[in-house]
Structure 1
Amino acid sequence: MNTPRNVIALLTQLRAAAAITFMAVIAGCAQRVATPAAPSDAGTVPVSSVVAAPSMVAERQQADAAVVTAPTPQQATTATPPALRPVPDPQLSFTRTQAAQARGRAWTLANQRPDGSFGTFESPRAREIYLDTQASHRAFHTATTALVCWSLVVPARTDPACNAALLRGLTWLEAQGEVGRASGNTFYSIWAHTYLLELASAILADPARTADHQAWRAILEREVQVARREQSAEGGWAYYDFNHVGQNPSGHESTSFNTGAMIESLLNARAQGADIPAGTIADALTCMERMRIPSGSFAYGTYAELNVAGDYNKVSGASGRLQVCNLALFRSDAKGTDGETLLRGVELLRERHFYIEIARGRVMPHEAFYRNSGYYYFFGHYYCARVLQLAPAGPRRDLLVRWLAEQMAIDQNRDGSWFDYPLYGYGFAYATGFAMRTLEILEPMIAEQVRATGGTGAVPMPPQSSSPNP
């Protein structure tokens, strides 16, 4: 008779204890939320509290960190922000830059596929980035091969092995024809169009490659027309256009970095005599200006331009994107973009580099602080080098040039490659192409510093950030 009552009493006590424990946990969480965050955590937002941009969601939902076996970069991120690392003197910087390039060329030559291309659709993980259709692989493969071939154009002038590899790569690309969309709302082909334009411009600018000029003149003209056709209604470019299927993208998903990179490639094509359709660049600049933020940042895309306070739109989340945006505006003589804008943009990358460096090598897109993603790490550093090429000369630029070269040397893997994101089997190849182009641009600027200083000189410590995070 008493046994059921004892059981009921025991269950009641257990339920009361569980309720007390639950309330204590809630109180503890509330206390932690109410406690002001330390300065080093400023701007850090829990993943669950942020509504991600549509394109970010599409990328994240396809990744599966539990089954990834892709290697991560071999240089671990330290607790000391890279902005505080010493910058080598000119002679040491020049030596390290040349050594990194030599290792990178060796890796490139050893990893060209038998058909002349670079990269592969093979992936070490069961779930990968969103494809829509298998046609996306053709876009990735073509863009990666164009990038690596672009990095071989200059070395091919003096290195027979690089010249042979470049010829095989060009032959493969010439046989591919026009790369189309995967579907009406997914077109990673924009990357192929962008870097085919860059490669074609580099081939046509090289007097040593006159035998290739006719074929690549035709490719240049074709890609210019494709770029105009794929330009969205509001002037930008993107790789998604969800819920909108038309002959031209709607522009709802246009990104600042795709738009900036395409403006840069079209300007280079125009320098080689390409006839850019009227209004193409002007429309793109209008789109770019809409995404400009007074902090020096640029919105991730047109769909996010009104969310200025979004973590991915803050400088700490945009340092890898804002370089190409500043470059495109500066080269187009846009109002409010001058040499100081260029230098300050690079300084922002240097000061906030810790955040984008944390994202390098991570397998989930946009999982890092401020929604940084690894796949635009070397993209951003390449355009940073282009910015420094055009920035006003002086001690300020000299220091930034050596800092960027040193960062590339630090990021290089022991086998000579570079890596920032496990995009199927394309990650090492495209990252190495970007890094090699970056060092190629920086090397002559460092050589000039060596000549001017005799290879030595004081190495000033980087200044503290002049603006609060983000």
Structure 2
Amino acid sequence: MPKLCLVVAVMVLAVPVHLLAQETTAEVSLSPLATTGPKPAPITPPTQADVKASIARGVRFLLDDQRPEGAWGSAEQTKDLNIYAPVPGAHQAFKTAVTGLVVMALVEAYPTLDEATQHEVDASLDRAQAWMLKHAGGVRRAEMDAIYNTWGHSYGLQGLVRLYDHTPESDTETRARLREAMQFQVEKLDRYEYLNGGWGYYDFDAHTQVPGSSPNSFTTATALVALKEAEDVGVEVPRAMVDKAITSVERQRYPDFSYAYGEYLRMRPRYPINRPGGSLGRSQACNYALAVWDRPEVTEEVIKTWLNRLYARNGWLSIGRKRPVPHESYFQVAGYFYYYGHFYAALSIKLLPEDDRPYFQDHLAHILLPLQEKDGSWWDYPFYNYHQQYGTAMTVVALTRCLHE
């Protein structure tokens, strides 16, 4: 770790926890930068029928792509450019994360589908549920330096929440098993939370049992969203774990509500990846995570400003889409932030007043519909055999949130 990063880490760890809590709970006056920014050009909105048709094509791709054992994704399509992923742990985590996301997509798309497709989805979810209950509990830290299991715990947890919601209340036995599985994933997130709060997916420094490296703002946001959903269905979530994670994300936030890539970069606000163009994907996730945990600084105007910024400056994310090398694009954007950012943007729209949503829903659908591939999928970064699955799942969820109520 560079010397600057060590100094920052020492400074963070030296601050008493009660002072950090005071800092984040005090009244905060927002900078004008938080609620000013570019706005997108006017569009001709896609029809609601077009959105539903696109969702149906995405669902068809996911149904046809399910593995025989009930999961989605695999370690196939290897190439020299694939990221470091020690076997078998990394791929167990990736498969669990992708399967959780696909389950989320199928459950959320369910009301938009015709009866015949709903029957197919029910059968698919039964197979996915059996796989998750059998295998998701096996996700662990792959190596001392690779903590990809964070993704499996987080998105696996969201998938389990959707299965729980989709299961009839009368099926108490299945719901009890799903609740137990959710509690296990919560406990693992607690176990792998970083020393100074939040989560990341690497620990290249100390290789300690409690990860001592730098948490990432977006990984932490991902986990916080999953934990809130679990809490909302009655799963016990340790508040101390959540508070440390929230404080980590808030330490990484700049006055304009860009977020640092990770705590090790938070003292470099003009570093390209930390600037608004580099934070387009992260800001949506971080804002949403803090909002659902009732942080008052994330106001409706902040959410609207960053949705408009995502739409108006979408090119900065889009240039990186499908590039095979992480962070090779402008503002050091990696391709895998594209659908990730739009996924959390869609979730954020639901936090706005109902009358304000159609404008933001239409702009999001206008961006996503033309990017659908001929086979019905969406993908943004070549990643073994997981990219079409997570890209399609995230986009299907996003498009379900673009339907007017």
Tell me which interval the TM-score lies in, with the shorter structure as reference length.
Answer: 0.7 to 0.9
- Structure 1 window deviating more from structure 2 (326-335 vs 399-408): it is 326-335
Q: Does structure 1 residue 147 correspond to structure 2 residue 101?
A: yes
Q: CA deviation at 1:207?
A: 5.0
Matches of 1:380 and 1:411 in 2, distance apart?
15
Q: Which moved more, 1:96-105 or 1:122-131?
A: 122-131
2:169 is aligned with 1:169 = no
Q: Which residue of 2 aligns with 1:297?
A: 258
Using the TM superposition, name which of 208-217 and 130-139 deviates more.
Answer: 208-217
1:203 CA drift (Å): 2.3
In the TM superposition, what is the alpha-carbon distance from 1:342 to its structure 2 partner?
A: 0.9
Secondary structure of the corresponding residue to residue 148 of structure 1: helix
Task: Using the aligned pairs only, state the percent identity.
Answer: 31
| Cα offset, 1:116, TM superposition | 1.3
Distance 1:210 1:198 in 2: 22
Distance 1:197 1:415 in 2: 28
2:326 aligns to what SS in structure 1? Answer: coil
Whether 1:256 and 2:217 are equivalent positions in the alignment is yes
Cα drift, residue 86 of structure 1: 4.8
Q: Does 1:356 align with 2:294?
A: no
The one-letter amino acid of 2:103's match is: C
Which deviations, in whole Å up to 9, do the C-alpha atoms of 1:166-217 show, x marking residues without a partner?
Answer: 1111111111123001111211111110011111222223353754312211
Q: Deviations over 1:251-296 (max 9, x none)?
A: x321110111111111111111111113111111111110001122
Alignment-mate amino acid for residue 87 of structure 1 = I
Partner secondary structure for residue 168 of structure 2: helix
Do residues 113 (structure 1) and 72 (structure 2) align? no
Show the counterpart of 1:87: 43
CA RMSD of aligned residues (A): 1.9
Q: Does 2:224 correspond to 1:224?
A: no
> How many pairs were matched up?
361
Which residue, out of 366, 385, 397, partners 1:425?
385
> CA, structure 1 residues 428+208, in 2 after alignment: closer, same or farther (shift >3 Å)?
same
Q: How far apart are residue 152 of structure 1 and its match?
A: 1.3
CA deviation after TM superposition for structure 1 residue 100, in Å: 0.4
Residues 431-442 of structure 1: matches in 2 within 5 Å? Answer: 431-442=391-402
For residues 331 and 244 of structure 1, the distance between their equivalents in structure 2, rounded to whole angstroms, comes to 33
Partners of 1:336 and 1:151 lie apart in 2 by 30
The one-letter code of the counterpart of 1:104 is G
What does residue 77 of structure 1 align with?
A: none
Query: Using the alignment, how far apart are the partners of 1:191 and 1:263 within structure 2?
Result: 12
Q: Distance in 1 between matches of 2:363 and 2:109?
A: 23
Report what 1:17 is aligned to: none
Tell me the equivalent position of 2:14. Answer: none
Residue 103 of structure 2 contacts residue 162 of structure 2 at CA under 8 Å; is this kept in 1? no
Q: Does 1:338 align with 2:299?
A: yes
Please say which structure displays the higher CA radius of gyration.
1
Find the partner of 2:55 among 73, 94, 101.
101
Whether the 8 Å CA contact 1:155–1:163 is kept in 2: the answer is no
Q: Give 1:84 shift.
A: 5.5
The answer (yes or no) to whether the contact 2:217–2:260 under 8 Å persists in 1 is yes
**In the aligned structure 2, how far is the partner of 1:145 from the partner of 1:186?**
20
Per the alignment, residue 197 of structure 1 pairs with 157
Q: Which residue of 1 aligns with 2:205?
A: 243
Aligned to 1:186: 146
- Please state whether the residue corresponding to 1:180 is helix, strand or coil: coil
Q: Where do 5+ consecutive residues of structure 1 fail to align?
A: 1-52, 54-81, 449-470
Q: Is the 8 A contact 2:61 2:376 kept in 1?
A: yes
What SS class does the counterpart of residue 167 from structure 1 fall into?
helix
Give the counterpart of 2:336 among 372, 375, 388.
375
Q: Distance in 1 between matches of 2:170 and 2:334?
A: 39
Q: CA deviation at 1:114?
A: 1.3
Counterpart CA distance in 2 for 1:391 and 1:194 is: 24
2:196 match:
234
Tell me if the contact between 1:320 and 1:379 (Cα under 8 Å) persists in the aligned partners. Answer: yes
1:324 and 2:285 correspond: yes
Question: Is contact 2:99–2:159 with CA below 8 Å preserved after alignment?
Answer: no
Q: Tell me how far apart the structure 1 counterparts of residues 120 and 169 of structure 2 sit (CA, whole Å).
A: 15
Letter in 2 for 1:180: R
Measured in 1, the distance between the counterparts of 2:44 and 2:375 equals 23
* CA positional deviation for 1:83: 7.2
How many angstroms does 1:399 deviate by?
1.6
Question: Does structure 1 conserve the Cα–Cα contact (< 8 Å) formed by 2:321 and 2:381?
Answer: yes
Instruction: Tell me the residue number matched to 1:459.
Output: none
Amino acid at match of 1:266: L
Aligned to 2:276: 315
Contact 1:204 / 1:210 at 8 angstroms: preserved in 2?
A: no
Amino acid at match of 1:196: G
Q: Return 5+ residue gaps in structure 2 as ranges.
A: 6-37
